[in-house]
A = this chain, B = another copy of it.
């Protein structure tokens, strides 16, 4: 009963902020509705603490209690999420282009941005009679197994690429490429051709093609991808439409490389405070 008795697997000292976040974190696409005690078990928090925090979250609108007593994510969180700058703003600009692409190709269309070692789909349009796919708005998948992810990885800093390649790369299908060397080759191909063409990486019988979208400083800020059933169409027949879409969105975002020069662009580069490293300090 005295001190040092915590011989369990992990002491897991958590700050109170972490407790709050851990509750939100147990919700996922597989577990969208959870009872109080399920939340308690999954977070490892005591029932009492869970009870109190869940109620505070509910009072704020972060959680909602369904009629069966279980808790789900509240609309307040959806509302908040739309404020993510890389997210819905980009979507707003891209949506007309994506819709055109969908009508032209009858394929499933994705718009993805990088977050950690994953991509997150900030838009997902389903072809009316397209194959069912895993991709949904808000979905998160590893970079190495998605077309859009490969594109985003290919244009990431070398250092970050190696970090991802060193990490554990999950195998989704028999053909998922998880060998770092093989992936390096593919990344080089993507940089050379400007598009990623992948097959059966995340799901069987799916062919994915993706291209980079550039922002105001010509940096790659997102990727657009199309997915069709394997064998349904020649990949090369889709590339021109995809490339045009990517270029159109890039131009709408103000990417210099996608803007026809009508003179000498003399816009002076804006001063950036600090080292302009997008990952200033990751761990602790």
Q: How far is the CB of A48 from chain B (nearest CB, A)?
A: 14
Contact indicator B57/A137 (Cβ below 8 Å): no
A85 CB contact (under 8 Å) in B33, B61, B125, B138: B33
Protomer copies? 2
Contact indicator B72/A84 (Cβ below 8 Å): yes
Contact indicator A272/B67 (Cβ below 8 Å): yes
A81 CB contact (under 8 Å) in B81, B126, B140, B272: B81
Count the A residues whose beta carbon is within 8 Å of the partner chain — how many?
70
Assess whether A21 is interfacial by the CB under 8 Å rule: yes
Q: How far is the CB of A184 from chain B (nearest CB, A)?
A: 26
Contact indicator B18/A113 (Cβ below 8 Å): no
The complex places the Cα of A61 from the Cα of B279 at a distance, in Å, of 12
The complex places the Cα of A60 from the Cα of B209 at a distance, in Å, of 31
Which DSSP category, helix, strand, loop or mixed, fits chain A's interface?
Answer: mixed
Per-residue contact bits, chain A 51-66, to B (CB 8 Å; 1 contact, 0 not): 0110011011110111
The complex places the Cα of A272 from the Cα of B273 at a distance, in Å, of 57
The complex places the Cα of A284 from the Cα of B60 at a distance, in Å, of 10
Per-residue contact bits, chain A 87-109, to B (CB 8 Å; 1 contact, 0 not): 11001100110010000000000
Assess whether A69 is interfacial by the CB under 8 Å rule: yes
Contact indicator B84/A73 (Cβ below 8 Å): yes
Assess whether A278 is interfacial by the CB under 8 Å rule: yes
- Stretch from A22-30, A149-157, A172-180 at the B interface: A22-30
Q: Given the complex, which residues of B lie within 8 Å of A95, measured CB to CB?
A: 125-126
Contact indicator B115/A61 (Cβ below 8 Å): yes
Known contacts A75-B84, A91-B137, then 5 further A-B pairs from the complex at CB < 8 Å, ordered by chain A residue: A61-B115, A73-B83, A78-B82, A78-B87, A82-B136
